[in-house]
Structure 1
């Protein structure tokens, strides 16, 4: 009887193990076949999207010609994907998290995989260096970047974007060499509440004067 019980237990364990293995295999096959599961970035496809969709404003290599449009070359891919998703209308008929009529149209035409591909392409490109243009405001911009403004509750920009403006993927973009005009526009949009996809930046920019915004934006443009 004991031998029979042991045999049944072994058989039962084997059946459970085989069943679990089959279930896991089926699950893995389903995941591999699921078109919604993003694949690895396809740089060739990303380059094609950049040339066809993005080049008119951002240039094919992401080094835009002027401050009306940001430089995307060398920007963190995860951050670019997040921004593209924020430009799209949200589930349930909700409006985009980041309001921009032009970008909403472009982003809505891209699949999640398209976003991954084009973001990876721009991230792989070499950004052209930028420059600070107003020597008089560099000391103020440097002070804000490195140490913030304690009496206003403004933290150092370097705490999130890095000492040289390289940023941290997803949360904090690379600002090194970015057009100062573009940075001023975005800080002002955060300040006025017309850009709402980052609450900390809304709070921080609201505490900055217009002159402080211009100074720190110009300083960031010259970081290397």
Structure 2
């Protein structure tokens, strides 16, 4: 079995386990109140992420059009689980914000952002577009890296619960997240931790830039 097949085998087991747990959790989740979610978005989130979830700079991710269940999970991951001192996603700003949000608040604001229309992005590094496209569409076989499109979709729209929308996301933000998976400061996706650890800096930047312009 070659490295790519081995990588797929490991990732498939991890993803299946995560998906099962998250699906069960989603089934029990409270129903969203989008109006209340909008209030939270405009009073708490807008300064960084924009009123409609389209952040003004790459320092903050675009949240518009992201799957509701995915956003809820990310918000919860900024809180340390019982018995743990470090959350799965380490971010001092977000850690402070989520302490004031109830589970219902998280569902409400996530539902609001999920209904918003994301603004398109653009690939800016012409010299690496072909490399980024190859990684996104076909992976890196000799490193056991599967195609990004297999999980995030051909157009980067993502999959509810499991995978975020990457189409149009800020390239610099995507680079930062891949680096965070490599360094361990973001530890809430075993598949992404494994994938990011196998990519070079050049490959990270190339595929991030390609995803920014994907639509």
Offset at residue 128 of structure 1 (A): 0.3
Offset at residue 195 of structure 1 (A): 1.1
Gaps of 5+ in 2: 1-27
Offset at residue 181 of structure 1 (A): 0.4
Question: How has the CA–CA distance of structure 1 residues 38 and 200 changed in structure 2, closer, same or farther, with 3 Å as cutoff?
Answer: closer
Which residue of structure 2 aligns with residue 112 of structure 1? Answer: 103
The TM-score with structure 1 as length reference comes to 0.82
Offset at residue 42 of structure 1 (A): 0.7
Question: How has the CA–CA distance of structure 1 residues 190 and 44 changed in structure 2, closer, same or farther, with 3 Å as cutoff?
Answer: same
From 159, 181, 185, the counterpart of 1:168: 159
Q: 1:16-68 deviations in whole A, cap 9, x for unaligned? A: xxxxxxxxxxxxxxxxxxxxx85421111000000111011001110000110
From 76, 89, 97, the counterpart of 1:98: 89
Q: 1:169-224 deviations in whole A, cap 9, x for unaligned? A: 12110100000000000001111222111111111111111000000000000011
Structure 2: how far apart are the matches of 1:68 and 1:113?
A: 27
From 75, 80, 97, the counterpart of 2:71: 80
Alignment RMSD (CA, Å)? 1.1
Summarize the alignment of residues 1-224 of structure 1 with structure 2, pairs less than 5 Å apart.
Answer: 39-92=30-83, 94-224=85-215
Structure 1: how far apart are the matches of 2:142 and 2:83?
A: 42
Larger Rg: 1
Gaps of 5+ in 1: 1-36
Which structure is higher in RCO with an 8 Å CA cutoff and minimum separation 6?
2
Task: Kindly tell me the number of residue pairs found equivalent between the two proteins.
Answer: 188
Structure 2: how far apart are the matches of 1:110 and 1:222?
A: 33
Poorly superposed stretches of 4+, deviation over 6 Å: none
